[in-house]
Amino acid sequence: MDNSELKGWNHVPTLPLKVSPFFTWPLRPLDMLAWIWNSWFLITEKLIIVCIAIISFYWFQPPLSEIKTLAFGWIFEMYVRNMILMTTVAGGLHLYFYTFTKQGKKLRFDPRPLMKNGRQFTLGGQIKDNMFWTLASGVTIWTIYEVLMFWALANGYAPLLTWAAHPVWFIMMFLLIPIWESFYFYWIHRFLHIPFLYKHVHALHHRNINVGPWSGLSMHPVEHVIFLGSVMIHWIIAAHPVHILFHLQYYALTAATTHTGFEGVSIKDENRLVLGRFHHQMHHRYFECNYGSLEIPWDKFFGSFHDGTNEADKRMKERRKRMTGA
Ligand SMILES: [Zn+2]
Ligand SMILES: [Zn+2]
């Protein structure tokens, strides 16, 4: 197999990219344990977001009794909280990696700078464009879903899961939400690549050939409604308010972290906090590959997986030729 490096990248992770070991036969239990460990511990974005969800629930969330009736006050509080969260995460990463270039080019995938200008962008530049769509549309729709689900839980319209009644399920729900995300995201993302939807909706996200933290949630409002609509599963699957917070924070905040453009934060030459996903970074450059994530290998099942090697690159180019009929 040709595992030589692809051209045009400043940094690539260890190749070929590995998908979750839960879907290969024979099963390798040690690899499976290592996969769960690495994706959750010691310091990972998943665990950080569980903490953010718990802190939000205890200190920055109006009580369920108040939420029974829709009122401007508590909805506005949630909106401000989400604005602060998004700005802290995406803005913080942007300042660290791009404004103050704290890490130089270390672990950076694409060697090119983000585009300061560009006619394709709203407000005339990539960063302003990305911030606008993230904050004006993304955070607004995120908050609307949160309000809807909280209101439904408070009134008993959606099923409530409590720690007292189901402690095991309560913990499991945190593990299941990212797996559900991987499943849901792959399918809506393929759907968004149907030419009509791509042209009118998803192309906005794909203005970013090279990506930064603000690109992650920079989407057309219709895409926000579809993307964050994942949380509607809790009309059927019981959840606690803290799971609702986690679910939407996970979607919104990891959109920023996975688009960081860097594989992670490097401390003393080690990648201490995994952030960007090369898998998805390739989707932004090559389009017809890697619609999902590595958590459930849908791309592998359906032949759209690009593992970063030259061999996979050849396969993708042939696929692209077939699709365009050239
Ligand atoms: Zn896409
Ligand atoms: Zn993307």
Ligand located closest to 201 CA: 1
Domain membership flag for residue 158: yes
User: What residue numbers bound the domain in which 247 lies?
Assistant: 53-286
Residue 103: the pLDDT is 87
Ligand located closest to 202 CA: 1
User: How many angstroms does the Cα of residue 149 sit away from the middle of ligand 1?
Assistant: 27
| Type of residue found at 18 | K
Nearest-5° angle of CA 41, CA 296, CA 264?
Answer: 40
Ligand located closest to 213 CA: 2
User: How many angstroms does the Cα of residue 214 sit away from the middle of ligand 1?
Assistant: 16
Asked if 245 and 51 count as a contact pair (C-beta separation under 8 A), the reply is no
Domain membership flag for residue 181: yes
Number of domains within the chain: 1
User: How many angstroms does the Cα of residue 239 sit away from the middle of ligand 2?
Assistant: 28
Domain membership flag for residue 81: yes
Domain membership flag for residue 114: yes
Domain membership flag for residue 88: yes
Nearest-5° angle of CA 170, CA 174, CA 180?
Answer: 120
User: How many angstroms does the Cα of residue 291 sit away from the middle of ligand 1?
Assistant: 6
Ligand located closest to 259 CA: 2
Domain membership flag for residue 96: yes
User: How many angstroms does the Cα of residue 155 sit away from the middle of ligand 1?
Assistant: 37
Contacts of 97 (CB under 8 A, 6+ apart): 103, 108, 212, 213, 260, 261, 262
The torsion region of residue 133 among left (phi > 0), alpha (psi -120 to 50) and beta comes to: alpha
Domain membership flag for residue 237: yes
DSSP run (H or E) holding 272: strand 270-274
Residue 4: the pLDDT is 57
List, in sequence order, every beta strand (DSSP E) within 104-190: none
The rounded average pLDDT for each run of 10 residues, N- to C-terminus, in the chain (326 residues) is 68 85 87 84 86 95 89 95 97 94 88 84 92 98 97 96 96 95 94 96 94 96 98 97 97 95 85 86 91 90 90 88 75
User: How many angstroms does the Cα of residue 281 sit away from the middle of ligand 1?
Assistant: 10
User: How many angstroms does the Cα of residue 206 sit away from the middle of ligand 2?
Assistant: 7
User: How many angstroms does the Cα of residue 188 sit away from the middle of ligand 2?
Assistant: 13
Domain membership flag for residue 314: no
- Read off φ and ψ for residue 264, nearest 5 degrees: 170, -175
Q: 186-191: which pairs have CB atoms within 8 A and are 24 or more residues apart?
A: 186/291, 186/292, 186/293, 186/296, 186/298, 186/299, 187/298, 188/226, 188/227, 189/291, 189/292, 190/291, 191/226
User: How many angstroms does the Cα of residue 237 sit away from the middle of ligand 1?
Assistant: 28
Check: pTM over 0.85? Answer yes or no: yes
User: How many angstroms does the Cα of residue 37 sit away from the middle of ligand 2?
Assistant: 25
